[in-house]
Amino acid sequence: TYAAMQAALSRLLDDLSPEAIAKKIPPASFSSRKSQAWDALVATWRTMEDKHENGMLDVFLAYFAEAYAKADKQK
């Protein structure tokens, strides 16, 4: 359903949000922090996609399946 797709995409974007990435890096100077944030984003992305044969598409589909099942239970 549309609601499950929204929930899955929202979850995926939350996982990759600047705030989520910032929580993974230590405080530092702005330029150093910016570089660390990029490195953390790349590491997060790769960790997520390496677990799945089709990369981020499979991550999204897994999130969608969970959201769909949850929405179906609430009916």
pLDDT tens profile 25-73? 877 666 687 888 888 888 988 998 899 888 888 999 999 999 999 988 8
pLDDT of residue 29: 63
Average pLDDT over residues 6-30: 82
Question: pTM of the full predicted structure?
Answer: 0.65
CA–CA distances in Å: residue 1 to residues 11, 15, 22, 34, 64: 16, 21, 32, 38, 9
pLDDT of residue 69: 93
What are phi and psi for residue 36, nearest 5 degrees? -65, -35
